[in-house]
Structure 1
Amino acid sequence: MAFSWIVPSAIWLVLHFTAESCRRGAVSAPRASGVCAKGTVTASSGQAVPPGTNITVSCRLAAPPGASWCWAAIFLNSSEQIRGQGGSVSKTFLLSSLGKHTFTCKSICGDKAKLVCGMDILAGTPPDEPRNVSCIQFGTKGRPTCTWHKGRLTYLDTAYGIELSNGTDTFCFPQETPNPVFGSGTLSKLDFNSNYTVVVSASNQLGNASSQPLTFMLVDIVKPHPPDFLVEFDDSSATSCSLSWHHEAQAQHYRLRYRPLSSSTWSTVEIFSREKYHLQGLEPDTAYEFQVSCRILPSRGLWSDWSSTQSQTPAAVPAGILDVWYRQQDLGPGHQNLSLFWKVSLVKPQKNPASSEQIRDNVCYGIRVSALYQGRAGQAASLRANSTAQAPSAGPQMFTTPWASGVLVSWEEIPAPQQRGCITAYHIYLHRSSRQGQPEVHAVPAGKVPRSLHIPVLQPGEHHELWMTAATAAGEGPRGNSDSVCLEGAGDWLTLVLVCSFLILSACVCSVPPARKVFQWLLSLLLPQWHSKAIPDPANATWAKSLTATKAELSAPSSPFLPSAFQEPETTPVEESWAEPPEPGDKLLVGSAGSRGHWPREQQLYQRLLLEPEYISSPGPSARSPEPEPEPIPLFPFLPPGPCCQGNLSLEGVKLSGSSFPR
C-alpha cells in the first residue's frame, strides 16, 4: 500500500532536482551597440532583426583627431560604406539577406586605418512550431528520450526545451545535442501509473513557438529489449520443437516467426501470457531461422526488435517396410553361412503449391490436404490460412452471465467479411471500477470450443466492465460491445437465511404443547385489542326484546292455554338429549281445557323456552339474526385458535327431552 505512492513520489522529487523551470516567450534584447576605449558604434535596432529591416549605424571617436585630414569611417563586412570628418559619422542600411552582418568603426588618417570598435547585427526569423514530437524509452529501467523536427533555419540563437507535466507540476528539460534540423532531450525516470503530457517549446529574440501536446503513459512508449530464447528439439520427432524465452519486463504478448533458410517467406505465430511454445509442422533435416519479439501489453506499447537464432531439425526416422532377403551357403557338415540383405526406399516429401487464382486477399480459408494412393485418399491434414490479412474491422459480440464467484463470458464469431483474415486470438478486458491503471487482459486462442471463458473471483458489490477484441496476424481490431457486471452481495442471502431460520425455529417450538401454550400467552399480550373482542350478550339482540313483550301477553289470565293460577317456575337448564326419535305411529296427546292429560309437562317446557331467552341465542328461522362480526385475519395460521372466539348458539340440531321436567 505504501509502496504504491512512495515510488511515484520519489520519482517526482527527482524531477524537481533535475529539471529546470520553464521560460517561454521571446528573449528581449537591448539596443545593439559596441563601446570601446577609442570610440563607440551604435545601431538604431536590436542585435536581431527580420530580413528587410532598415537600421541606422553611427560611429563616434572618443577623441576627435587633431589633423584635419583624419576621418571616421563605417565598414560593413570589411567593406567601407561611408567616412566623415569631425570624429563621427552615420548611415542607414537595408538588411535584405539572412545571416550575420558585421559593422566596424575605424579612424583613417592618411593611408592608415585603425580599428576603433565594432558590432554584429543578425537578420533571422522566429522559430517554427516543432513537429513530429515523439518519446521512447528503451527497456523498462531506462529513461525516456524525446525527439522533434525543428522546421526552417532561424539564423539566430534559438533555445529549445521539453515541458513535462503530470497534471499538477510542469518541468523543463533542455535540448541536449544541438542539431540544425532535429532536436532531442532526455527526461528523468517516470513511473508506470501516471499520465504525462510533453510539449516542446522554442524561443529566440524574434518570437517563440510550441508544439502540439503529446499525452502518454509510460507503457505506451517503452520499447522492450529483444527477449532471449532457446530452441530445443524432441528426439522422438523431427517435425516439432519447443521454444522458451525469458524477458525482464514480463511481457504479455510475443510474436514468433520462422522460415527455412532456403525460403524468404515467414510464418508468424502470436503467443499471449506464456514463455514457452511448442511448434509443429517443421520439415525434417532442414535448417531454420527463428525470431521472437515482444511487447508489455497485448494492445499497448511498442514492439521490441527481433531476436534471432538458427537451428536445424533432426533427420527423420525411416518409416517404411524393409525389403529383406538372405542367402544360405553350406560350408560343411553342421556348418552354414547365412548372409542377410535388406533395402529401404525413402521418398522425399513433395511440395505442390495450390492454384492461387481463386484465393482472395484478407479472407480466411480452411485447407485440407490428403495423399492419394492407387485411387484412394488417405487421412487428411487440415489448417486455416490466408494469403494476406488485416486487423479485424469489428469486435466480437459478447455476453456475460454471473456464475459461481465470477462471470462466464461467451461470444459469437465475427462475421467473415469483418474478420479480414484468420482470427488468431481473442482478448477479454476486465476493468474493475475500484482500481486505477490498466485493465486485466485474458487471452483466448482462436478455435476454442465452446467460445466461452470463466473469469473467477470477482468482488461482490463491485462494478466490473468487460469488453472483447479479436486479432489476426496483422494486429488487433477494435473493441466490440461492452457490459457491466456486479455480483450480488452476501447481505441479501444472510437476511433470507435468518428469516427462514426464525420461521423453522418457531414451528419447532410450537410443536411442543407446553411451549405452544407459553407462546400463545405471549402472543395474546402482543396482539391488538380487536383480536380478543368478547362474545356479545344475546339478551341485547332485537329478537330478545320482542320476546320480552310476548312474555307479558303469555302471562295474561285470559289465555285459554294456561291456568289462572300459573306461577313462574324455577329455571330449568336446557339439556341436549341423544334420545331416539319417535316412531312414525306415535301421537302427541294434548288434553282439553278441562282435563290436563299431558299438557302441564309441555306447558312448562314451552314456558321455560319463552321466558328464559338469555340462554337461547336464536328463537328460530322467523326471528332476525344479528349481522355476523368480521372474522379477524390470523397472524400465525399454524397456531390453534385461542380462547377468544365468536359465534351464535343455535338449537336447530338440539333435541329436548321432557324427562327432566317435573309433571
Structure 2
Amino acid sequence: MSWSILILLTVVAMQICIGEKPCVIWSTAGSVIQRGRSFQVFCVFKNTCEFHMEDSPSTEQEPILFNSTTLYLNVSNIAKDKTYCCECKNHPALDPCGLDISTGDPPDPPKNVSCIYKIDRNQSEVFCSWDRGRETNLKTDSDLWVTTLPGDKSHGPRSYTADGSASFNVSKSVQNISVWVQAKNKLATVNSRIFNYTLSDIAKPSTPVLGQPECLSQTCNIRVEQSMRTEHLEIQYKADQETWETLQTNSDMQMDSSVWSIGALEPFRLYHFKARSKFSTGLWSDWSTITSSWTEEEAPAKELDVWFTESESDTQSMRVYWKEANISISRGKIVEYIVGVDRSNTSLSADVKNYSISHCAKCEVTIWARNSKGLSPPAKIKTRRTTGNPPQGVRVTQSNNSVSIFWRTPETAASPSGYVVEWYPQGHRLEELRWLRLGSSNHHAVISDMKPLECYEGAVYDLQQDRSGSGTKFTAVAISESVPASGPVIQDKVDGNEVKLTWTELPRSERRGCITNYTFYLKNDSGNLRKFSEAASKRTHIISGLSPGVYTLWMSASTAKGEGPNSTKVKFFIQQETPLSSLLVCIVASAVVLLLLCLCQSSSVKQRFWEIFQCIMLDVVPDPANSKWAKECSQEKGKINLQLQLSNATETEEEEEEPILVDVEELPRQSDDTSALKLISSQPPPETSLKQDAEPTTLPYPLTTYIKSLSHDSDSSDQTHTSMDTNTTVDYISSHGPEILDEDGEDEEREEEFADVNFFPCQNIFMEPLEFGGKLTLDAVKIDCSNFFQNCDG
C-alpha cells in the first residue's frame, strides 16, 4: 500500500510540474462512491506554501499533514455528495484545486417481470413491465433482453432499452420467449432472473367497445363490438350506490359485433355497464369504458308510509305526514301527491311532505303518489287515537352514535298490528317529525340518524289495524352531549322585596344536548352568595324575602355533561318598604279636605250640607228650657198663648203671616206626677180621641216635659240637649201648617196622629231647596211648665 501511495504522489508531482495548478487533489475511492464507505482525500502542493484544505458541507475535521507538500482527510461513512478544496493562502493568484464526490447505491436486481401478449386484428406485440427497486441516487439504465424461440430455433438475444417497461413485436410463428432485465449505473450492473413465457398463455384480446344501451322499464339491450372474435364475454352492470353484477355469456357462436339483453332490472334506475373478453386461453382484456342509461318508469309499487300528529294548540287540528318513497317503490319521478279527506281531494306538489287538516279529529285520510305512469296504491290512516293500554316499560339507552329504545306490550292488551316509534327535536314536532314503522314482533328500535348535540323527544305507539293506538312518550334523549355553549339571557322585575326572573330558552346550536336544570347565583352587597335551582321546563323564577340593598345575579344552564358558562350579570336594588296604606289615606284625606274647603265657598253648597246634617242628626233638638216662653212660664203659671206662624212655601222667610193663637191649658197632675199638655183648638177633636176623664192604666207613649219644634224663632243657638229617660214623651208640633189641636186634653190620641209625621224630610241636595209650611214660634205657645224641668233634676 505504501508503494502505491508513493507512486501516486510521484505522478501527481509530475503533473504539478507540468500544469499551472498549485496542487492536485484525489481520493482513494474515486469520484463516485457508494454510500456508507470510508476513504481518504489527498492534496499534493507544487511548492512549499501555506496550504489549506477543507470540505463542504463541512465536517469541521482538521486535515492531516502527510509530508511537507501533502495533506489528507479521513472520510468515514459518507452519506451525501461532498466537495473538497485545497489552496495556498500565501499565493492567492493561484487557482485552488477541488474534487466533487458523488454518492449513491448500486441498482437492485429488477423484480416482478411480467409480459402480456396483446393481439389485435392488425398487429400483435409483447408488452413487459418490471419493478426497478429502490432509488439509487445515481443514474440507472434498464435494458430488456429477449430471446425468441420460433419453432425449434432460437433468435437473440435482443435488448430494448426502457425505464420500467418495454414492448416489442413478434411474428405469429413465435410460440415461446425468454426475457430478463438488466439494470446498471456507475457503481454496478445487475440482472433479474430469466422468465419463460408461452405466448398463448399470456395472450390478451383488445378492449371491447360498448354502444349506448336501449332500455325499457326492466330490460336493457347493449351492443358489444370487438376487433377479433373471442370465446368469452363478461358484462357487468349496477345501479347507483350498488355493487356490480356479472353476466357471463357463452361465446362459441359470438361474432365480432353482437347485442346482448340484460333483464330483471328495476324501473327508473340509472344503470352503468362495462364489458371485457378473453380467448379460449390467456388473459382477460381490459374493461371497456363505462356507459350508462335510465330504465323507464312504472306506476309506484307500494303505498306511502303515512303518519300524523295533533296540533298542540288546537286538538281539532291534525297534520298528516308521509315519507318520500325510495326509488324502488316510487318507480319514477313523483310529480304530485293527492290527499283525500271525506271524499274531497287536494293536489299537492312533489315538494310537499305534510298536510294540515282542521276540525277533523276523526277523519279518514287517503294519500296517493303519482308519477308519469300512474298512481300508487292508496295509503289510509284515521286521525284518531284509540284508547287502551299503551306500550309499557319504555326505556332509552344512549351511545355516541345511536339511541336504542325498548318496550313491551301489556299482558292484558290485544296483540297490535305493529308499532311506530316517532322522534323529533325538542319543541319542533310539527317541523321535524320523523318516525319508524315496525312489525308486531319487534320490541326494540335503534335510531342512528339523530344529530349529535341535539335534544330529542318522542313516543312509542302500538297500531290497531288501520288506526293508531295509544302511545308512551320519552323525553330528553341526546347523543354526544356536551356542556352548553352559553348562558341564558335574564330579565329581572323588582316588586317590593322580591324579584321575578324571566329568561328564554337557549338557541338549539348552543344547548349541546338536553338541558337538565338552570342554576341561579345571587350575591348581595355584603358578598354573601346564595344559590337556587329551577327545572329545565321553567322560564320564570321568583326570589322573595329580600332585604333592602344592591344585588348581583347571574345564571347558567346544565346538561348531563355538566354546567355551562355563566350568563351576563344583572344588578337590581331592593328599596326600604314605605307605609303605603297610611300614605294613601293621608293623600285621600287631604284631597277631600281641599275639596270641601273649595265647596264651602259657595252659599248654596253650605245650605245643602246643613240640610243633610239636620237630616242625619235626628236626635239633636232645641232645648225648650232655654227658650223665651219657658223662662216666662217659670214666672207665671196658667195659660200661655202659643202663636203658630204659617209660612207660604212660595214666600220668603221675611214675608211671614200673622201668627195663629193656640190656647194651652194646664191640666192637673196625674198620679205619676207628670204634667200633660192639653191643646185647645177651634176644631172639634176626631171621634177616635180619648175622653178627658179617661185614665188608661198605661200610657200609649212615654211622657215628656217639653215640646220639640222646628222654629226659626226658638232660642236654641246653644244647642243645649236635655237627657231623656225611658219615660219621656216627645210631643211634636208641626210647622207645615195649622193643625187642629184637641182642646179637651186628649193629647195622647193626637200624639198617635203625629207619630208618622216626618218633621225633617231628607231631600237630595241637588234638587230644589227645602221648603216648609207655617212657622211656629215658641212665644206664641201658652203652656204649663211647672214640671217642665222635672227630668233635669235626676
- TM-score category of the 2 structures, normalised to the smaller one: 0.3 to 0.5
Q: Please give the TM-score of this superposition, normalised by the length of structure 1.
A: 0.36
- The structure with the largest alpha-carbon Rg is 2
Structure with bigger RCO (C-alpha 8 Å, 6+ apart): 1
Q: Please give the TM-score of this superposition, normalised by the length of structure 2.
A: 0.30
